[in-house]
Amino acid sequence: MPKGANTGTKHHCPGQGGWVGEWSPGGCDVQTVETKMGKLSYCKKHSMPCCNGCKYWFHLKNQEGCQSCLSRWRAEVKQNQKAREAQKASEKQKVDAEFWNPGKDRKKPKKP
């Protein structure tokens, strides 16, 4: 291919060569959006602006959210798991403390 040849590729849509959910390959319609960072291009046939309200983020139509949403959801799941583990650890520590440090009513009475 000669140098500087225009191949016509203006974006890298995964739907250009394969199915995206129920949307057939090819027939990409490129939309350009002006942002503070510059111009962003996405395929209107296979992609859409984030349906969760993330400004200037796009995702495929068969996905629930953009990469920003996915990373936020993963972080929330990880945080919830850590909270559950910390709660289990504190409950176990409480049970151990009750066993090793019994209250006055559980101690053996002294012999007279």
Query: pLDDT (tens digit, 9 = 90+) per residue, 62-88?
Result: 888 888 999 999 999 999 999 999 999
Number of continuous H segments (helices) and E segments (strands) in the chain:
1, 4
Question: Could you tell me the residue range of the domain that residue 26 belongs to?
Answer: 14-101
Distance CA(65)–CA(79), nearest Å, equals 20
Q: What is the pLDDT of residue 11?
A: 55
The top-scoring range by mean pLDDT among 36-40, 47-51, 95-99 is: 47-51
Higher pLDDT among residues 66 and 101, named by residue: 66
Distance CA(23)–CA(51), nearest Å, equals 18
Please give the average per-residue pLDDT across 37-51, as a whole number: 84
Owner of token pair 């990409």: 28
Domains identified in the chain, total number: 1
Higher pLDDT among residues 10 and 25, named by residue: 25
Q: Is residue 97 part of a domain?
A: yes
Q: Is residue 7 part of a domain?
A: no
Residue 63's CB is within 10 A of a number of other CB atoms, namely 17
Distance CA(12)–CA(27), nearest Å, equals 13
Spell 11-31 as b/e; 16+ CB within 10 A means b. eebebbeeebeebeeeebeee
Q: Is residue 6 part of a domain?
A: no
Q: How confident is the model at residue 1 (pLDDT cuts 50, 70, 90)?
A: very low
Q: Is residue 63 part of a domain?
A: yes
Q: Is residue 71 part of a domain?
A: yes
